[in-house]
Amino acid sequence: LLSLGTGTTSEFDKTYTAEETAKWGTARWMLVIQKMTSAASSYMTDYYLSTAFQDLHSQNNYLRVQENALTGTTTKADDASEANMELLAQVGENLLKKPVSKDNPETYEEALKRFAKLLSDRKKLRANKASY
């Protein structure tokens, strides 16, 4: 299973003081709760799938690809300007060089190549079985 994310910001790593949050109105609270719920859903789905694949001793058959530190215009889903597309392409190029996780030093580039080979090998195997 190859799971492709749309990216997140590092905004949720930020902490707020009681003095800051005391000044928030209803709209600000609703926005923060909506963003947290959305991010939590993504993280929990990844955690569940990762755990399920580990329990099946198939952890090499699951890969989540997502940049978790988007900034600036790259966080805007409706910005299709040429400049932003170039920035997003650079984000993708940089992500390929990053390790998959702190527990897995394999880079995303290596992991995607491994996935491509695995899928190609399985397709060849199915084609050979179908020709019998």
The tokens for 99 are 């390790």
The band of 89, judged by pLDDT with boundaries at 50, 70 and 90, is very high
- Percent pLDDT > 70 in the chain is 96
pLDDT score recorded for residue 50: 92
pLDDT digits (tens, 9 = 90+) for 41-77: 878 888 999 999 999 999 889 999 989 888 888 888 8
DSSP letters, 60-118, are GG-EEE--S-B-GGGG-TT---HHHHHHHHHHHHHHHTSBS-SS---BHHHHHHHHHHH
pLDDT score recorded for residue 103: 85
pLDDT score recorded for residue 57: 93
pLDDT digits (tens, 9 = 90+) for 118-131: 999 999 999 998 87
Q: Is the pLDDT of residue 12 over 90?
A: no
Taking the complete model, does pTM exceed 0.75, yes or no?
Answer: no
